[in-house]
Copies of this chain bind each other. A is one copy, B any other.
Amino acid sequence: MDPTVFDQKIAYFKQNMPPQCPILYSLKIIGSKWKIPILWHLMLEDGQHYNQLKRTVGNITNTMLTKSLRELEHDGLVRRHSYETVPPAVTYHLTDLGKSLVLTMGELFDWGKALEEQHGVPTTPTSNREES
Protein backbone atom coordinates (compact mmCIF):
# COMPACT_ATOMS: atom_id res chain seq x y z
CA MET A 1 0.00 0.00 0.00
CA ASP A 2 1.89 3.03 -1.32
CA PRO A 3 0.77 6.10 0.66
CA THR A 4 1.50 8.42 -2.24
CA VAL A 5 -0.69 6.51 -4.66
CA PHE A 6 -3.48 6.49 -2.11
CA ASP A 7 -3.26 10.21 -1.44
CA GLN A 8 -3.20 11.03 -5.13
CA LYS A 9 -6.32 8.99 -5.71
CA ILE A 10 -8.09 10.67 -2.81
CA ALA A 11 -7.23 14.04 -4.25
CA TYR A 12 -8.68 12.91 -7.57
CA PHE A 13 -11.86 11.72 -5.88
CA LYS A 14 -12.28 15.00 -4.03
CA GLN A 15 -11.78 17.08 -7.14
CA ASN A 16 -14.20 15.07 -9.25
CA MET A 17 -16.83 14.44 -6.62
CA PRO A 18 -20.36 15.19 -7.76
CA PRO A 19 -23.16 15.58 -5.17
CA GLN A 20 -24.06 11.91 -5.35
CA CYS A 21 -21.08 9.53 -5.02
CA PRO A 22 -20.58 7.72 -8.36
CA ILE A 23 -19.71 4.50 -6.60
CA LEU A 24 -23.16 4.47 -5.04
CA TYR A 25 -24.56 5.24 -8.46
CA SER A 26 -22.78 2.22 -9.92
CA LEU A 27 -23.85 0.00 -7.07
CA LYS A 28 -27.46 1.03 -7.53
CA ILE A 29 -27.27 -0.27 -11.07
CA ILE A 30 -25.54 -3.56 -10.34
CA GLY A 31 -26.20 -4.01 -6.64
CA SER A 32 -29.37 -6.08 -6.61
CA LYS A 33 -29.04 -9.77 -6.05
CA TRP A 34 -28.96 -11.19 -9.57
CA LYS A 35 -27.40 -8.44 -11.69
CA ILE A 36 -23.81 -9.62 -11.44
CA PRO A 37 -24.65 -13.30 -11.95
CA ILE A 38 -26.66 -12.40 -15.05
CA LEU A 39 -23.95 -10.18 -16.50
CA TRP A 40 -21.40 -12.81 -15.58
CA HIS A 41 -23.12 -15.61 -17.46
CA LEU A 42 -23.81 -13.35 -20.42
CA MET A 43 -20.11 -12.63 -20.45
CA LEU A 44 -19.27 -16.34 -20.42
CA GLU A 45 -21.73 -16.94 -23.23
CA ASP A 46 -23.32 -14.02 -25.03
CA GLY A 47 -26.67 -14.14 -26.77
CA GLN A 48 -28.34 -16.61 -24.44
CA HIS A 49 -32.05 -17.28 -24.56
CA TYR A 50 -34.33 -16.49 -21.65
CA ASN A 51 -34.68 -20.02 -20.34
CA GLN A 52 -31.09 -20.84 -21.14
CA LEU A 53 -30.02 -17.90 -19.04
CA LYS A 54 -32.36 -19.04 -16.31
CA ARG A 55 -30.65 -22.42 -16.24
CA THR A 56 -27.09 -21.15 -16.31
CA VAL A 57 -27.67 -18.51 -13.65
CA GLY A 58 -29.38 -21.09 -11.51
CA ASN A 59 -32.08 -20.85 -8.85
CA ILE A 60 -33.43 -17.56 -10.13
CA THR A 61 -37.19 -17.13 -10.45
CA ASN A 62 -39.00 -15.84 -13.52
CA THR A 63 -39.98 -12.74 -11.63
CA MET A 64 -36.47 -11.76 -10.72
CA LEU A 65 -34.90 -12.75 -14.03
CA THR A 66 -37.40 -10.66 -15.98
CA LYS A 67 -37.17 -7.74 -13.57
CA SER A 68 -33.38 -7.76 -13.58
CA LEU A 69 -33.16 -8.05 -17.34
CA ARG A 70 -35.58 -5.15 -17.80
CA GLU A 71 -33.53 -2.96 -15.49
CA LEU A 72 -30.26 -3.94 -17.12
CA GLU A 73 -31.83 -3.15 -20.47
CA HIS A 74 -33.09 0.19 -19.21
CA ASP A 75 -29.65 1.07 -17.89
CA GLY A 76 -28.10 0.13 -21.22
CA LEU A 77 -26.00 -2.83 -20.09
CA VAL A 78 -27.97 -5.47 -21.93
CA ARG A 79 -29.73 -5.56 -25.28
CA ARG A 80 -32.77 -7.72 -25.94
CA HIS A 81 -33.17 -9.24 -29.37
CA SER A 82 -36.52 -10.72 -30.30
CA TYR A 83 -37.00 -13.06 -33.25
CA GLU A 84 -40.48 -12.99 -34.76
CA THR A 85 -40.90 -16.72 -34.96
CA VAL A 86 -43.34 -19.31 -33.62
CA PRO A 87 -42.63 -20.25 -30.92
CA PRO A 88 -41.04 -16.92 -30.00
CA ALA A 89 -37.29 -16.71 -29.44
CA VAL A 90 -35.43 -14.03 -27.52
CA THR A 91 -31.74 -13.58 -26.97
CA TYR A 92 -29.91 -11.29 -24.59
CA HIS A 93 -26.61 -9.62 -25.32
CA LEU A 94 -24.10 -7.48 -23.50
CA THR A 95 -23.86 -3.97 -24.88
CA ASP A 96 -20.55 -2.16 -25.07
CA LEU A 97 -21.49 -0.46 -21.82
CA GLY A 98 -22.17 -3.85 -20.26
CA LYS A 99 -18.83 -5.14 -21.46
CA SER A 100 -17.07 -2.11 -20.08
CA LEU A 101 -18.67 -2.79 -16.71
CA VAL A 102 -17.46 -6.37 -16.75
CA LEU A 103 -13.96 -5.10 -17.36
CA THR A 104 -14.40 -2.56 -14.58
CA MET A 105 -15.35 -5.34 -12.22
CA GLY A 106 -12.04 -6.97 -12.99
CA GLU A 107 -10.29 -5.21 -10.14
CA LEU A 108 -13.04 -6.19 -7.75
CA PHE A 109 -12.63 -9.74 -9.03
CA ASP A 110 -8.95 -9.75 -8.16
CA TRP A 111 -9.53 -8.01 -4.84
CA GLY A 112 -12.19 -10.50 -3.77
CA LYS A 113 -10.15 -13.43 -4.99
CA ALA A 114 -7.09 -12.42 -3.00
CA LEU A 115 -9.15 -11.78 0.09
CA GLU A 116 -11.08 -15.02 -0.18
CA GLU A 117 -7.84 -16.96 -0.23
CA GLN A 118 -6.75 -15.31 3.01
CA HIS A 119 -9.95 -15.05 5.02
CA GLY A 120 -12.77 -17.50 4.89
CA VAL A 121 -16.41 -16.54 4.68
CA PRO A 122 -17.29 -12.85 4.94
CA THR A 123 -19.44 -11.33 7.64
CA THR A 124 -22.82 -11.81 6.04
CA PRO A 125 -22.81 -15.22 4.44
CA THR A 126 -25.51 -16.18 1.97
CA SER A 127 -26.69 -19.69 1.34
CA ASN A 128 -24.82 -20.95 -1.64
CA ARG A 129 -26.51 -24.04 -2.90
CA GLU A 130 -25.28 -25.88 -5.95
CA GLU A 131 -26.80 -28.97 -7.44
CA SER A 132 -24.52 -31.81 -8.36
Contacts and interface: CB of A to CB of B under 8 A. Distances in A.
A99 B66 CA distance: 37
Contacts of A88: none
A76 B119 contact: yes
Interface stretch (A47-55, A79-87, A101-109): A101-109
A23 B10 contact: no
Copy number in the complex reads: 2
Contacts of A113: 16, 18, 22, 25
Contact of A13 (B6, B43, B100, B111): B43
Q: Which label, helix, strand, loop or mixed, suits the secondary structure of the A interface?
A: helix
Contact of A112 (B25, B102, B110, B128): B25
Nearest to A19: B130
A16 B36 CA distance: 17
Nearest to A128: B20
